[in-house]
Structure 1
Amino acid sequence: MSIQTNQTSRRQDWASFIVRAIVLSLFFLIPCQPVKALDERIVFDPYTGLSLGGYDPVAYFVSGAAVPGLADHEETYGDTYWHFATEGNAAAFRAAPAVYIPGFGGYALAAVARGVAQPGNPTLFAINRNRLYLFASEAERQSFLADPDAMIAAAAARWPDVLKLLAY
């Protein structure tokens, strides 16, 4: 009886090993996809790590204006620091950062559309379809307002090339 039990035990161990090996090998069959971060690069001050020059990203939507944030209401996201005018704005950002981060990482939209990586000016902005975009000049902003879909499409087409230009 003990020989039979030993053989049964060996079969169970072998079957268990086979099942584990199959399950483990399935993990290698799952295609690995790189995780694509929102816009992949965010403009920030290399000395302070501060995004948007310290302006509150939520205030653009709430106040319709570029409002300076305070260091008292600071959050970290995407390896950068974000300042907020109020704790409520900081809480809104914590809950849904993707909503408030500028399109194309805060690079000037018209520049990206031309294939150039130029940081946007946080005081020159527009919101289109619940997305914040920054510009390098008022003329670029006005051009965007005249035909936003065309500039966004051009920037989206050039964005992969612009990302290749960025060193970090």
Structure 2
Amino acid sequence: MTAQRQERYGWPLGKAFLALLAGFFASICLDLPGCDLSALAATTERVVVNHYSGLAIEGFDPVAYFTDSIAVQGVVDFEASESGAVWRFRNEGNRASFVAHPEVYSPQFGGYDPVDLGRGVTYAGNPRFWLVTGARLYLFGREQSRDAFAADPARFLKGATARWPELEQTLAQ
């Protein structure tokens, strides 16, 4: 078969194979407990979300930062959907607190680093570099950013707060 014929006939077969493969994995997922494909379709960039899992802040429990002062992974059994993302919690109490007050427990600026926001850049925060100040959770992309912010939160919040509305409009919904 010539190269031209291979391109003409090979591509539709490749598409059909990929569609069949996707359908196969989707049907397997539907049989698994806790498998929800809608979470993958509902992700947003206004909140830092893992594009593969749909999890906000990499599955860390946002309430645990306040109650336990540590970064703790949430579990599949305790999930909630908010702001187009799936949030995980380590227990039902933390889940209930978040559902009642997501504006309190969600990371500020959608989980973007406030130091970088002040410079006019949206840089995703890492849930391992965090700080609770003024009863709000902030995530940072780098440890150095967190340390600088901790030294003078008011200075960095002024810049981040001023630039966030404009930067937020550039992010996908």
TM-score range (shorter-chain normalised) is 0.7 to 0.9
Contact 1:124–1:134, Cα closer than 8 Å, also in 2: yes
Q: What's 2:131 paired with?
A: 126
The aligned counterpart of 1:41 is 46
Could you tell me which residue of structure 2 aligns to residue 160 of structure 1? 165
Instruction: Quote the residue 1:56 is aligned against.
Output: 61
| Counterpart AA for 1:130 | A
Q: Deviations over 1:42-101 (max 9, x none)?
A: 111122211010000000000101100001101111111000011110011111111100
Q: 1:163 Cα shift?
A: 1.7
Letter matched to residue 154 of structure 1: G
Amino acid corresponding to residue 73 of structure 1 in structure 2: F
Aligned AA (1:114): R
Summarize deviations over 1:3-32 as a string: whole Å, max 9, x none. Answer: xxxxxxxxxxxxxxxxxxxxxxxxxxxxxx
- Contact (CA 8 Å) 2:46, 2:172: kept in 1 or not? no
Partner SS, residue 127 of structure 1? strand
Residue pair 1:102, 1:134 contacting (<8 A) in 2 also: yes
Please give the secondary structure, in 2, of the residue aligned with 1:118. Answer: coil
Does 1:94 find its partner at 2:99?
yes
* 1:95 partner letter: A
Is 1:105 the counterpart of 2:139? The answer is no
2:47–2:56 Cα contact (<8 Å) kept: yes
Is the partner of 2:87 in helix, strand or coil? strand
Partner of 2:128, secondary structure, is strand
Q: Which residue of 2 aligns with 1:151?
A: 156
Distance in 2 between residues matched to 1:76 and 1:164, nearest whole Å? 22
CA contact (8 A) 2:130 2:137 kept: yes
Matched AA of 1:48: S
CA distance in 2, matches of 1:104, 1:134: 9
Q: What is the identity, as a one-letter code, of the residue corresponding to 2:80?
A: E
Instruction: List runs of 5+ in structure 1 lacking aligned partners.
Output: 1-39
> In the alignment, which residue of structure 1 is the partner of 2:144?
139
Q: Which residue of 2 aligns with 1:9?
A: none
Name the counterpart of 1:74.
Answer: 79
What percent identity do the matched residue pairs reach?
A: 45
Q: Which residue of 2 aligns with 1:19?
A: none
> Is there any run of 5+ residues in structure 2 with no aligned partner, and where?
1-44
Structure with larger Rg? 1
Contact 1:112 1:118 in 2 (8 A): yes
Tell me which of 83, 108, 114 is aligned to 2:88.
83
Query: How many residues get paired?
Result: 129
